[in-house]
Amino acid sequence: MSLLILASNRLLKISGVLIKAFSYIFHFIFPNKRFTIPHASPALRKKDKDIKVPKIIWQTNYTNKVSLPVYINYLVNRWISPDFEYRYMGHEDREEFIKENAPQEIIDAFDKLTDGAAQADLWRLFVLNYYGGVYMDIDAHSVWSISDMLNADDNYCFLLNKEHFTNYFIASTPNNLYLQKAIDLIVENIKQRNIEDGVYSLTGPIVLNRVIGDNQVTHRYYKETCIQGSFTNEYFQYIDKPRGKWTHVKNEDLLK
């Protein structure tokens, strides 16, 4: 990890701690105040470096009316990678997009999912495989300019944490073989009702790790690329939907 990226990582984490502390006070005084994340926003400026991965940041959430720290997290991503467009899709948007563009088999599988996080897992793979771009969870932010972290000829980049590849950050061009295999595996998991190990293996990171297997893939380590929870936490992310996180959903309730 370069010293500049390390310094940026630490600065963002420290800033996040301060912002979270302030946000508790802010939302105590203004309990109903929410900030709107736009569904679409153009790049703030052009950048000379060209990369194969389309310069689009994709994010999703159960609502785009968010708490202060979630909104700041959004602003940080816009500020760090100003040459990227921004696209947000909520629950209804994801469903509409899948139904308009996916094969019937994927539509049927998506319709059987009852949990928003599981639906987002399938949607992120499909939208990246369809349009390309960079997906980040709503509580995640890059630690450096995405254009500068990706090589010009990279067709994709996966994120490696301490244990395995994760799916809260994925960069890809359209028609990625690994993404398609992950989509196919999710569809099969849903058909077979493989819910014993919950969202994590039904639609989540375990799916991606299974399709990657022992293959050598383009990847970056999470600390030098994208981290979660610096600016927000479960309380702020689900401020209007207590216990709305996927970890609170019973396995038997994941599928219709």
Domain positions in the chain are 3-32+55-253
Percent of the chain predicted with pLDDT > 90: 93
At 46 the pLDDT is: 85
Position 9 confidence tier, pLDDT thresholds 50, 70, 90: very high
Q: Structure pTM? A: 0.96
Mean pLDDT of 101-122: 97
**CA 226 vs CA 13, 115, 136, 171, 177: distances in Å:** 12, 25, 8, 11, 23
Res. 115: pLDDT tops 90: yes
Query: What does CATH list as the number for 3-32+55-253?
Result: 3.90.550.20
Mean pLDDT of 153-176: 97
Position 2 confidence tier, pLDDT thresholds 50, 70, 90: confident
At 1 the pLDDT is: 61
The overall average pLDDT reported for the chain is 96
Mean pLDDT of 54-83: 97
**CA 229 vs CA 99, 109, 141, 182, 237: distances in Å:** 32, 30, 9, 26, 10
Mean pLDDT of 101-113: 98
φ, ψ of residue 225 in degrees (nearest 5): -135, -65
The answer to whether the Cα torsion of 211, 214, 217, 223 is positive or negative is: positive
At 47 the pLDDT is: 77
The SS3 assignment for 93 reads: helix
Q: Which is more confident, 144 or 49?
A: 144
